[in-house]
Amino acid sequence: MAENSVKKEKVPRQPMPEQAASVRRRNFDEVPLGYSKETAMLEASRCIQCKNPSCVSGCPVGVDIPGFIKEIASGNFEEAIRKIWQKNSLPAVCGRVCPQEIQCEGVCILGKKDTPVAIGNLERFIADYVRVNGIGEMPEKAPATGKKVAVVGSGPSGLTVAGDLLLKGHDVTLFEAFHKTGGVLVYGIPEFRLPKDIVASEVAMLEKIGLKIECNMVIGSIVSMDELFEEGYDAVFIGVGAGLPKFLNIPGEDLIGIYSANEYLTRANLMKGYLFPEYDTPIIKGKNVVVFGAGNVAMDAARTAMRLGAERVRVVYRRSREEMPARAAELHHAEEEGIEFHLLTAPVRFIGDEDGRLIQLEGLKMELGEPDDSGRRRPVPIKGSEFIMDCDLAVVSVGAGPNPLLTQSDPAITLNKWGYISADPVTGKTTKKGVWAGGDIVTGSATVILAMGAGRQAADSIHNYLTWGW
């Protein structure tokens, strides 16, 4: 069977057209340009329509992948998007930022002998196609149940919960602390990876089917959880995301020119600091930029710095290439854009001038020793390997801890020892009746799609509760 299928496959995986690295490294326009209709249909024709598709189980929200791809292959675009929307209300986002290589595409049967179907590119194509052409209809809503749900936080998990529960007929209000919805999709992920108009239009789709949105609402301080119930909400979902950024805790870290990745990206993305002074929020533009950490967020920071005109951008990471947590595609894009990687290197201290501005960095070379608790080989400093590097902007991207604002406001919500919310791993139920949680506030920093998966599970559990009780 398998041999047969491979023989049938004549069309190679269609490459995604992209802006040339030499051009895009200085602009904020999106890097991939998207498939044309013809390319998408060609790529879709590669799917062999497995009877027991492993791609679907590889998708945290269980999209009917062969189903929507089949519709694209036959040019039934409205039907294709309908199939996706049944399971995923944010396809334009997911098509762009999901780590498909370790999910749906990672288990695609074609990938065993050849390259997997470009599922992410196809999802992105269809979402963009229906948006641009103004076609496609959201699945029909179930009759109104009269139940009210408050969703706290408008990032990926909150939007998923909201979308699912709206379709099930509940009355959903989304509360966002920032002045704009989208959470990490708007403050964290840069424009060149996820244009903000696209996030806005996916949120607008949910508004069309009845989502109510209240921005500037810091739940926990302006309204408590108990007050939400008093106001008539029957259930609450908490998806407030990661919080307090972690720092390196080395001397000089409070010098001017040292940002957490959260601050740097928020200034650039949410506040549009790259358009200063047209927008009022300034952002420090370094000539010699150093980014610490090697996750996707670090790559976003490094590539943003390059676009803001840096002469050199260096990523400093204390482990080796194999341990870098960023997606291969992100690393590849960063390297193409001229980002340098200094691996097995650790910062020792920051050096400032008399005004307290960062000018240099002292670092140290490392070598790999025995495996540590995480199973990764522990980096060990090499004695006498200290060196000085010029650096006028440093971005620290080594993760974040939980946000204490909401969790401290309600003692009935039990936290784990790290301060994240203790929630049932299957249902997302917290220790407070009628309250669910999901996404980074439960797991610590993770990915958009994992937060969406948690949102999906919580939405199912909330729906059960609203139908049958706790």
For the bound state, the minimum distance from the C-beta of residue 196 to another protein, rounded and expressed in Å, comes to: 13
- Residue 10 β-bridge partners: none
Q: Which is nearer to another protein, 31 or 219 (CB)?
A: 219
Distant-in-sequence, close-in-space partners of 192: CB < 8 Å, separation ≥ 6: 24, 27, 28, 29, 30, 31, 303, 307
| DSSP sequence for 45-109 | TT----SS-HHHHTSTT---HHHHHHHHHTT-HHHHHHHHHTT-S-HHHHHHHS-GGGTTGGG-G
In the complex, minimum distance from the CB of residue 352 to another protein, in angstroms, rounded to a whole number: 9
Contact 453, 465 (CB under 8 A): no
Query: How far, in whole angstroms, is CA 285 from its chain's centroid?
Result: 24
Name the residue among 467, 465, 448 with its Cα closest to residue 158.
Answer: 448
C-beta of 243: minimal distance to another protein in Å?
Answer: 5
Token output for 232: 């008539």
> Which residue, 108 or 406, is less far from another protein as judged by CB?
406
- Nearer Cβ to another protein, position 340 or 353? 353
- Smallest distance from the beta carbon of 221 to another protein, in angstroms? 6
**How far apart are the C-alpha atoms of 114 and 121, rounded to whole Å?**
17
Asked whether 202 and 90 are in contact (CB, 8 A), the reply is: yes
Q: Which is nearer to another protein, 139 or 352 (CB)?
A: 352
Residue 396: CB minimum distance to another protein, A = 8
CA distance 459 to 461: 5
Measured from the CB atom, the residue of 31 and 308 that comes closer to another protein is 308
Cβ partners under 8 Å of residue 73, min gap 6: 41, 44, 45, 47
Closest CA to 298 of 186, 395, 187, 156: 395
Nearest distance in Å: CB 30, another protein: 22
Q: Residue 160 CB, nearest distance to another protein (Å)?
A: 21
Residue placing its CB nearer to another protein in the complex, 45 or 260: 260
Residue 290 C-beta: closest distance to another protein, Å: 17
> Computed from CA positions of residues 33, 36, 39, 42, in that sequence, does the dihedral angle turn out positive or negative?
positive
Query: 185 phi and psi, to 5 degrees?
Result: -65, -25
Q: Which is nearer to another protein, 244 or 368 (CB)?
A: 244
Residue 129: partners with Cβ closer than 8 Å, 6 or more residues away: 37, 40, 77, 81
Query: Per the structure block, which two tokens stand in for 293?
Result: 């950490």
Q: In angstroms, what is the minimal distance from the CB of 365 to another protein?
A: 27
Minimum CB–partner distance for residue 403 and another protein (Å): 5
> For another protein, which is the closer residue by CB, 284 or 290?
284
Residue closer to another protein, measured from CB, 255 or 351: 255
User: Is residue 413 within 8 Å of 407, Cβ to Cβ?
Assistant: yes
Using CB under 8 A as the criterion, which residues of the chain lie in contact with another protein when the complex forms? 177-179, 187, 215-218, 221-223, 241-245, 247, 249, 253-257, 259-260, 262-263, 266-267, 271-272, 276-282, 284, 355-356, 400, 403-405
Question: Side chain identity at 310, as an amino acid letter?
Answer: A
Ordered DSSP codes for 13-63: PPPPPB--HHHHTT--S-SB----HHHHHHHHTT----SS-HHHHTSTT--
For another protein, the closer of residues 35 and 175 by Cβ is 175
DSSP 234-275: SEEEE---EEEE-----TTTTSBTEEEHHHHHHHHTTS-GGG
The CB-of-86 to another protein minimum distance in angstroms stands at 33
Structure tokens at 24: 């895009």
* Residue number with CB closer to another protein (21 or 446): 446
- Closer residue to another protein, CB minimum distance, 230 or 340: 230
Residue for token pair 């039934």: 76
